[in-house]
A and B are shown apart, each in its own frame.
Chain A
Amino acid sequence: EADIYQTPRYLVIGTGKKITLECSQTMGHDKMYWYQQDPGMELHLIHYSYGVNSTEKGDLSSESTVSRIRTEHFPLTLESARPSHTSQYLCASSESKGTNTGELFFGEGSRLTVL
């Protein structure tokens, strides 16, 4: 079992609300990621971090923001949720192996529904 945790697992909110999806890992991994996953589609990278105070946007345009103040914590925030944000959000972490990405350890996911 991977030691990476996401909360909440399920969230239903109204349009315009601000939400934060939490992600924590206890493996001491430097690299952390947020992916968005829709049914039948591939995972899309929305944010990643190589360490404390290091965050970058991924491939998928996203209105969310992230922070990495502590190694183990990588929260994702939506300032104003819209129905188009309805999706499954997966947090992951991996060891640093130079330029190669090691095995990804995923959390259980946060399923967000915006009404």
Chain B
Amino acid sequence: KNQVEQSPQSLIILEGKNCTLQCNYTVSPFSNLRWYKQDTGRGPVSLTIMTFSENTKSNGRYTATLDADTKQSSLHITASQLSDSASYICVVSDRGSTLGRLYFGRGTQLTVWP
């Protein structure tokens, strides 16, 4: 069964600290993995995309990694800011169907305190 599991479910950190969010998936055949950021009351916004051949990719203070062998991805946030408080959603796409089906994690709710 194709699934996407994220951990932790929620996380509280102090402003300026770093944190790492995890995403494990069983989706096969794998096409790509995206991390989305969803602010409260808003729609999700894409942060980064990882394809099979990519190990790491950065977008400002956000760095995503992918280990396609173990089917794990992480999102590392450096020097957190209050505006980083949001839900971070891992989305995996397969390439075996005409739909290009997407599998969503439940998200990690990150709260950054001053």
Complex interface: chain B residues within 8 A of A111 (CB): 41
Name the contact of B97 in the complex, choosing from A99, A104, A106, A108 (C-beta under 8 A): A99
Interface size on A, residues (CB 8 A): 22
Complex interface: chain B residues within 8 A of A103 (CB): 34, 46, 49
A4 to B42, CA, bound (A): 12
A104 to B49, CA, bound (A): 11
Complex interface: chain A residues within 8 A of B101 (CB): 101
Binds A, one of B59-67, B78-86, B102-110: B102-110
Complex interface: chain B residues within 8 A of A106 (CB): 43-45
Chain A residue nearest to B103 (CB atoms) is A42
Interface size on B, residues (CB 8 A): 28
> Would you call B43 and A99 a contact (CB within 8 A)?
no
> Would you call A99 and B100 a contact (CB within 8 A)?
yes
A79 to B102, CA, bound (A): 28
Distance in Å: Cβ of B12 to nearest Cβ of chain A? 16
A25 to B85, CA, bound (A): 27
Complex interface: chain B residues within 8 A of A43 (CB): 44, 89, 104
> Would you call B43 and A109 a contact (CB within 8 A)?
yes
Assess whether A90 is interfacial by the CB under 8 Å rule: yes
Given A42-B104, A92-B43, 5 more contacts at CB 8 Å?
A100-B31, A106-B44, A107-B43, A109-B41, A111-B41
In the A-B complex, the 7 residue pairs with the smallest Cβ-Cβ separation, listed nearest first, are A106-B43, A101-B100, A42-B104, A100-B100, A43-B104, A103-B46, A42-B106
